[in-house]
Amino acid sequence: MTTTSTPEPAGTDAGTGRVLPFAITLATASSLENKTGAWRVERPVYRDFLPPCNDACPAGENIQKWLYDAEDGSYEQAWRTLMRDNPLPAVMGRVCYHPCQTACNRGRVDEAVGINAVERFLGDEALRQGWAPEPCAPDTGKHVLIVGAGPAGLSAAYQLRRRGHAVTVRDAAPKAGGMMRYGIPAYRLPRDVLDAEIARIEAMGVRFVLDSKVDHIAPELASGEFDAVFLAVGAQIGRRAYIPAGETARILDAVTMLKDVAGGGESGEGAVDDQLMLGRRVVVYGGGNTALDAARTAKRLGAEEAIIVYRRTRERMPAHDSEVVEALEEGIQMRWLSTVQHADAGKLRIERMELDETGFPQPTGEFEDLAADSLILALGQESDLGLVDGVEGITIEDGVVQVDDQLMTGYPGLFAGGDMVPSQRTVTVGIGHGKKAARAIDAYLRGEVYQPPERHRLAQIGAINSWYYSDAPQQVRERLEGARRSQTFAEVVRGLSADDALFEARRCMSCGNCFECDNCFGVCPDNAVIKLEPGKRYAFNYDYCKGCGICAEECPCGAIEMVPEMS
């Protein structure tokens, strides 16, 4: 006859204070042979969460993974991980506005990880060491035409070539790079860095046909030469605004001005003709990054004063704050809450504005004259969409081409991305579009539809045990002094040393993903954590795990979750 014990009331684990139900029969206890798994009300489970840096990256980089590779000095492996998503890391390490760092959980502990600085280090190190991409897949026999050699076009060309497709890139400019070359000044992006990363893509077998504008895409679609086409022509036309002006007023648009400067010499450092002489006092009208680039470039071309006129306040300026700070350091003047009402030789009529309750600027009727030898308009950019005129299925709204979730237009096999579709207009977004389009085109060429993998839940700061991370502030990159740099096109921001890059990579908290620190293995009071082979992490022996939760509490990166036992 089996004897049963009287159920004991719930007890408390002395180590953790967690309430545990000890309602176990003697027979059951005997059969368990000292196993404690039946005590649990919840169990620990290893999870993989989505790091906020990865989630915020418009290029879709696996940031946490390449930082992990870099933590022990494996820089080439880190670069190769990075190159799976982005073929221009040395460029991106200079011009990306790093939304990943804004999202970084480390920023709530002390300062965000300097992801952008480490990316630049890896990109520069690859150029110094001559690292080459991994071999392309075998040729597929498919041929893709890409129109536009900017970030979206270059990214798509690289990703498609990796997959074994033949790729031809056509561009109207004499050199590849798009607005990276003809819109971003050399003090932010040295041309030798851009040239080197483009040359690496060309060396993979991508064919570039430059000085070759595609006026109409319809003949290319009808030719049968290409199995798919990706349009990435960018937004290289300065948006015009009607400003009353006298006949002798000197008015330019910022896009044309920056392009002329970039095209004036091999280095893009301002070897320009007399037609671009701006005068002693230059006013730039606009509040975006292009406006700041135009004002800073005007200073470098010899203007004694460069003034930005913007109709809202600094807080509402679309330009990134780091660009505003650098411009102010260089002596660029700002006139907030102002608009240009009339331009004449040597002066502008400026009206003071005020913001209404919605933040929209309203005129006040208060005017003043502002001396100016030239006025540069930086009021936005548009794409030249004449190349899709007459193509069946193309829809254009608000000056951009409409695409589906595969970046395909209404014409089968015709894809579009970058600045010419609805999106934010940055280099990083363009690179992300190129990768996304390449995946969709590759699937299309195989008669399939690309299905992205399911996204993990976002790693939350509350699950991360930040007390494991010492106070280690972000490494500061050296910069040229404002007074010196306003006289030269030399690069403003310097890169990290190898030691600083290593330190910065090690500041990553590996949010939400196990990095095999052995904490759970070491703290488990029941020896219920099984250490697997390197790279395979751990497993739980639930026969002995009593659900005390110490492993979850001591996991530095929040990769262990306690879930109800019955779930």
Question: What pLDDT, in 10s, does the model give residues 83-132?
Answer: 999 999 999 999 999 999 999 999 988 899 999 999 999 999 999 999 99
Share of the chain above pLDDT 90, in %: 78
Find the mean pLDDT for residues 247-263.
89
**Which pLDDT belongs to residue 25?**
35
Question: What pLDDT, in 10s, does the model give residues 165-176?
Answer: 999 999 999 999
Residue 78 in tokens:
């880190």
pLDDT averaged over every residue in the chain = 89
Q: Is the dihedral of CA 271, 276, 279, 284 positive or negative?
A: negative
Residue 5 has pLDDT above 50, yes or no: no
Q: Is the dihedral of CA 515, 519, 521, 526 positive or negative?
A: negative
What one-letter code names the amino acid at 517? C
Alpha-carbon span 440 to 161, nearest angstrom:
14
Residue 186 has pLDDT above 60, yes or no: yes
Question: What pLDDT, in 10s, does the model give residues 548-561?
Answer: 999 999 999 999 99
Q: DSSP states of 329-353 as a string? A: HTT-EEE-SEEEEEEETTEEEEEEE
Question: Which of the two residues, 263 and 503, has the higher pLDDT score?
Answer: 503
Residue 4 has pLDDT above 50, yes or no: no
CB neighbours of residue 30 within 10 Å: 10
Question: What pLDDT, in 10s, does the model give residues 395-410?
Answer: 999 999 999 999 999 9
Residue 368 has pLDDT above 50, yes or no: yes
Among 27-31, 94-98, 143-147, the range scoring the smallest mean pLDDT is: 27-31
Question: What pLDDT, in 10s, does the model give residues 189-209?
Answer: 999 999 999 999 999 999 999
**Which pLDDT belongs to residue 242?**
83
Alpha-carbon span 44 to 560, nearest angstrom:
6
Residue 477 pLDDT level (bands cut at 50, 70, 90): confident
Q: Which helix (H) or strand (E) holds 333?
A: strand 333-335
Question: What pLDDT, in 10s, does the model give residues 518-529?
Answer: 999 999 999 999
Q: Are strands 166-170 and 207-209 parallel, antiparallel or unpaired?
A: parallel
Q: How far is CA 301 from the centre of its chain?
A: 30
Cβ atoms of 140 and 445 closer than 8 Å = yes
Residue 480 pLDDT level (bands cut at 50, 70, 90): confident
Residue 267 pLDDT level (bands cut at 50, 70, 90): low
Whole-structure pTM value: 0.89
Q: What is the dihedral of CA 533, 534, 537, 540, to 10 degrees?
A: 30
Q: What letter does residue 387 receive in the DSSP assignment?
A: G
Residue 264 pLDDT level (bands cut at 50, 70, 90): low
Alpha-carbon span 459 to 557, nearest angstrom:
9
**Which pLDDT belongs to residue 99?**
96
CA angle 251, 183, 482 (to 5 degrees): 85
Alpha-carbon span 354 to 313, nearest angstrom:
9
Please report where in the chains the tokens 């390197």 appear, as a residue: 534
**Which pLDDT belongs to residue 168?**
98
**Which pLDDT belongs to residue 271?**
47
CA angle 170, 174, 180 (to 5 degrees): 85
Residue 259 in tokens:
């392009």
Domains of the chain, with CATH numbers? 11-49+514-564 (3.30.70.20), 57-131+463-503 (1.10.1060.10), 143-236+383-445 (3.50.50.60), 241-378 (3.50.50.60)
